[in-house]
């Protein structure tokens, strides 16, 4: 299902949108949809990384929220130069989960 939205933007922003749509060979509406989706994904990633950094969620929960596996989450944490906060307790929980999956 889709919905229509409208918003006001400044002329210089519209000019940038039009320039980018030409560069990408896309119509304005398609470009804006893509930019919104990309922006939402970036905001979600930043929110999850912040929650992880503040120790509000575990490594496994962060990976689950971003719909990636633990190894991808570890790579993301490294790329963002964050401390990998992975306790022995979490390791044991993950190992039990792997045993159940066998």
User: Does residue 91 register a pLDDT over 80?
Assistant: no
Q: How is the chain split into domains, by residue range? A: 11-101
Q: Is 77:84 a contact under the CB 8 Å cutoff?
A: yes
CA angle in degrees (0–180, nearest 5) for 59-62-63: 85
Q: Is 63:72 a contact under the CB 8 Å cutoff?
A: yes
95: tokens are 């190992």
The C-alpha atoms of residue 54 and residue 49 are separated, in whole angstroms, by 8
- Tens-digit pLDDT profile for residues 30-87: 999 999 999 999 999 999 999 999 989 988 899 999 999 988 999 999 999 988 877 7
pLDDT number for residue 84: 80
| pTM assigned to the model | 0.75
72: tokens are 């991808």
The C-alpha atoms of residue 71 and residue 41 are separated, in whole angstroms, by 19
User: Does residue 94 register a pLDDT over 80?
Assistant: no
């Amino acid at each position: 299902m889709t919905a229509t939205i409208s918003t006001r933007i400044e002329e210089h922003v519209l000019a940038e949108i039009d320039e980018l749509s030409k560069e990408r060979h896309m119509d304005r509406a398609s470009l804006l949809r893509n930019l919104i989706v990309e922006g939402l994904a970036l905001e979600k990633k930043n929110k999850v990384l912040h929650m992880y950094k503040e120790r509000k969620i575990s490594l496994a929960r962060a990976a689950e929220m971003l719909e990636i596996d633990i190894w991808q989450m570890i790579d993301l944490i490294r790329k963002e130069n964050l401390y990998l906060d992975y306790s022995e307790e979490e390791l044991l929980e993950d190992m039990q989960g792997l045993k159940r999956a066998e």
